[in-house]
């Protein structure tokens, strides 16, 4: 729980600095993008938040996980829905390794084919 509180405190502090001290136009644009992205459209906001949960898990962004899980709950997501978003992330996190493994097999095939031609 302490880590979550730390993330919330850090986010509020950093956002305040970017907005109040630095008046960051870029950060304001990022916030506008977030508002435009996470609203009801063809996909309900809850679904968008669940997608973001999965992406956050794959990207290992703890602050993102904390934020988007909280937002998903506010939007009515159940514990099971959030768990399934996390489970999708498991598969998506593993998939790139499988794809990369295909390339490794190609390299092995080439190298061992060359090696067997020399025998």
CA separation for the pair 71, 74 (Å, rounded): 5
- pTM, rounded to two decimals: 0.85
CATH of the structural domain 39-119, one choice from 2.170.130.10, 1.20.1290.10, 3.30.2090.10, 3.30.1490.270 = 1.20.1290.10
* pLDDT value at residue 116: 59
Inform me whether the pLDDT recorded for 117 exceeds 60: no
* pLDDT value at residue 114: 66
> What residues does each domain of the chain span?
1-37, 39-119
Q: What is the pLDDT of residues 82-92, one digit of tens each?
A: 999 999 999 99
Give me the mean pLDDT over the 12-32 stretch: 97
Provide the token pair at 12: 């509020």
The continuous run of DSSP H or E covering 80 comes out as helix 79-117
How high is the mean pLDDT of the chain?
A: 95
CB-side neighbour CA atoms (13 Å) of 57: 19
């Amino acid at each position: 729980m302490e880590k979550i509180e730390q993330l919330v405190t850090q986010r509020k502090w950093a956002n305040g600095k970017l907005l109040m001290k630095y008046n960051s136009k870029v950060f304001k644009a990022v916030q506008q993008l977030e508002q435009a992205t996470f609203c009801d459209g063809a996909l309900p906001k809850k679904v968008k938040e669940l997608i973001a949960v999965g992406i956050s898990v794959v990207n290992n962004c703890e602050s993102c996980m904390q934020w988007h899980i909280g937002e998903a709950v506010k939007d009515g997501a159940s514990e099971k829905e959030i768990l399934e978003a996390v489970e999708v992330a498991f598969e998506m996190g593993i998939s790139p390794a499988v794809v990369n493994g295909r390339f490794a097999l190609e390299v092995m095939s080439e190298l061992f084919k060359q090696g067997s031609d020399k025998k």
